[in-house]
Amino acid sequence: MSFPWAKQYTPSHPFMVWMDEKLPIPRLIYNAVGGGYEVPRNLNYFWNFGFLAGLCLVIQIVTGVVLAMHYGGDTRVAFDSTEHIMRDVNWGWMLRYGHANGASAFFVVVYLHIFRGFYYGSYKAPREMVWLLGVVIFLLMMATAFMGYVLPWGQMSYWGAKVITGLFGAIPLVGETIQQWLVGGFAPDNATLNRFFSLHFLLPFVILGVVILHIWSLHIPGSSNPTGVEVKSESDTVPFYPYFVAKDGWTIGLFLIVYSLMVFFMPNALGHPDNYIPANPMQTPAHIVPEWYFWPFYAILRSFTQDWLWFIPAKLMGVLAMFSAILVWFFLPWLDRSPVRSGSYRPLYRKFFWVLVVDVLILGYCGGSPAEQPYVLIAQLASIYYFLHFFVIVPIVSSIERPDPLPFSITESVLGHDEAAALGTRA
């Protein structure tokens, strides 16, 4: 589980010795995020977002649990109890704004974390399982965020719930039954709100469990690094404590500054004013938009306006495409057959990587705009490109590309030479 040169946990205090025999949690921590975990010395700041994502999860759980002490998951009181939190509960405004903006911050951090994975090929062997669990986490995060947004029972809450649960009605034959089973009625109502509250409370703890698996499976090969060259010798790594504890601590400080600016000075910047209007099943808001982090996927959903191949209805196609846009990530480790991990040494892949980033930003922009021309047409073209990237471009690029020469080792990439390796392995 670690490199042979990693430091061993050796408790000296009698209590710690006793503890190590009964329940070796200090040993686990030492080996996971302490001096016993060896990490490549050349990690750049993109490797800080995993730790920050963990911080976001903690912020969401802490603020969420206290909000639940004041919130009522019943259509008659949900909206008012949310306003009660904002106006009457001590520090309620801060806890609610902290939770709402915490969700956005969480997605910013996780999108950058995934961006790192795409650019540096972190999804490749031997870290496929880390990646697969990451995609599972992302799906769980989307479900959690969606249900959380329904809880204040404002106009966007209600219509968001209606539109998203309506997606399941697209499934042939059993769709309507599934949809009614999900919402517990013919349209979102008290049964829906109540179960969403229950699940919204539960899912973050499920995420926590999957995060533990994510890190467990990461710690078997250890972290990758910006060169994508695997660790070869002791000079390639440094212990997590103190080096990366200090570096992660520094970015936590930066993160908290930006987060506090959002919470205290522009708490509604990312929200939608319509959600301060109580839910009204008789009146659709002029322009239903999900939260910004769903925009690219929402744009793909809306791109299907024509029936497909004469027998797949447009609605079903849209739903399938939206889910496929994420599910395709599960296959990425096998679609990309290039043995070189890092985009820094893949001149062709790197270009298409940036095109994909721009493509997703365009999709996001269209997803947040009304369903009108030219946005629909642009989103359609961008959706086509999105799938082309995964199913055509990545496999072809990975077989025709001529990668740049890789450094011999991490140490060589940092120092320009690698004595230890030159003496030993380089025969």
Partner 1 sequence: MAQDAGIDTPVVSDGDGVRRRDFINIAAVSAAGIGGVTVLYPLISQMAPSADVLAESSTEVDISQVQPGQAIKRVFRKQPLFVRNLTPKEIAEANAVDVSSLRDPQTLEQRTKPGHENWLITMGVCTHLGCVPLGAGEGEVKGEFGGYFCPCHGSVYDTAARIRKGPAPKNLEVPPYEFSSDTVVKIG
Binding site for partner 1 (CB under 8 A): 159, 162-167, 169-170, 180-182, 184-187, 189, 191, 195, 281-284, 286-288, 302, 304-305, 307, 313-316, 318, 370-372, 376
Q: Which residues of 228-237 are buried (b: 16+ CB within 10 A; e: fewer)?
A: bbebbbebbb
Handedness of CA 209, 214, 220, 222 (dihedral sign): negative
Which residue, 157 or 409, has its beta carbon nearer to ligand HEM? Answer: 409
List beta partners, residue 278.
154
Q: Where are the alpha helices (H) located in 34-69, listed in sequence order? A: 49-68
Q: Provide the 10 A C-beta neighbour count for residue 307.
A: 13
Can you tell me the distance from the alpha carbon of 54 to that of 52, in angstroms, rounded to the nearest whole number? 5
CB of 76 to ligand HEM, least distance (A): 34
Contact call for residue 124 and ligand HEM (CB under 6 A) = no
On the question of a cis peptide bond just before residue 11, with omega within 30 degrees of 0, the verdict is: no
Give the HSE-up count for residue 91: Cα atoms under 13 Å, Cβ half-sphere.
7
Phi, psi of 276, deg, nearest 5: -95, 10
User: Which of 119, 123, 255, 352 forms a contact with ligand HEM (CB under 6 A)?
Assistant: 123
On the question of a cis peptide bond just before residue 374, with omega within 30 degrees of 0, the verdict is: yes
List beta partners, residue 237.
40
CB of 174 to partner 1, least distance (A): 13
180 binds, among partner 1, ligand HEM, none (CB under 5 to 8 A by kind): partner 1
Give the closest residue to 127 by CA, choosing from 203, 47, 244.
47
39 binds, among ligand HEM, partner 1, none (CB under 5 to 8 A by kind): none
Residues of span 41-100 touching ligand HEM by CB under 6 A:
47, 49-51, 53-54, 57
88 binds, among partner 1, ligand HEM, none (CB under 5 to 8 A by kind): none
CB of 155 to partner 1, least distance (A): 12
CB of 42 to ligand HEM, least distance (A): 12
Contact call for residue 30 and ligand HEM (CB under 6 A) = no
User: Which of 105, 135, 193, 366 forms a contact with ligand HEM (CB under 6 A)?
Assistant: 135
CB of 51 to ligand HEM, least distance (A): 5
Helix, strand, coil shares of the chain, percent, nearest 5, are: 65, 0, 30
CB of 168 to partner 1, least distance (A): 10
Catalytic residue ranges: 219, 223, 247-248, 291
Contacts with ligand HEM, 186-215, as mask; x by CB under 6 A: ---------------------x---x--xx
Q: Which residue has the tokens 């009614």?
A: 180
Residues of span 296-335 touching ligand HEM by CB under 6 A:
329
Which residue, 265 or 310, has its beta carbon nearer to partner 1? Answer: 310
Q: Which residues of 9-39 are buried (b: 16+ CB within 10 A; e: fewer)?
A: bebeeeeeeeebeeeeeebeebbbbbbbbbb
CB of 325 to ligand HEM, least distance (A): 13
* Contact by Cβ (8 Å): 310, 328: no
Euclidean distance between the first and the last CA atom of the chain, given in angstroms as a whole number: 27
Which residue, 37 or 159, has its beta carbon nearer to ligand HEM? Answer: 37
CB of 43 to ligand HEM, least distance (A): 8
List beta partners, residue 238.
39
Give the closest residue to 408 by CA, choosing from 395, 391, 423, 388.
423
* Contact by Cβ (8 Å): 281, 154: no
Which residue, 246 or 309, has its beta carbon nearer to partner 1? Answer: 309
Which residue, 61 or 199, has its beta carbon nearer to partner 1? Answer: 199
Which residue, 30 or 120, has its beta carbon nearer to ligand HEM? Answer: 120
- For the record, the structure tokens of 362 come out as 């365009």
Task: Give all strands (DSSP E) within 234-377, no chain letters.
Answer: 237-239
Among 122-130, 147-155, 261-269, 373-381, the segment contacting ligand HEM (CB under 6 A): 122-130
- Alpha-carbon Rg of the chain, whole angstroms? 24
162 binds, among partner 1, ligand HEM, none (CB under 5 to 8 A by kind): partner 1
237 binds, among ligand HEM, partner 1, none (CB under 5 to 8 A by kind): none
Q: Which residues bind ligand HEM (CB under 6 A)?
A: 47, 49-51, 53-54, 57, 110, 113-114, 117, 120, 122-123, 127, 130-131, 134-135, 137-138, 207, 211, 214-215, 218, 223-224, 329
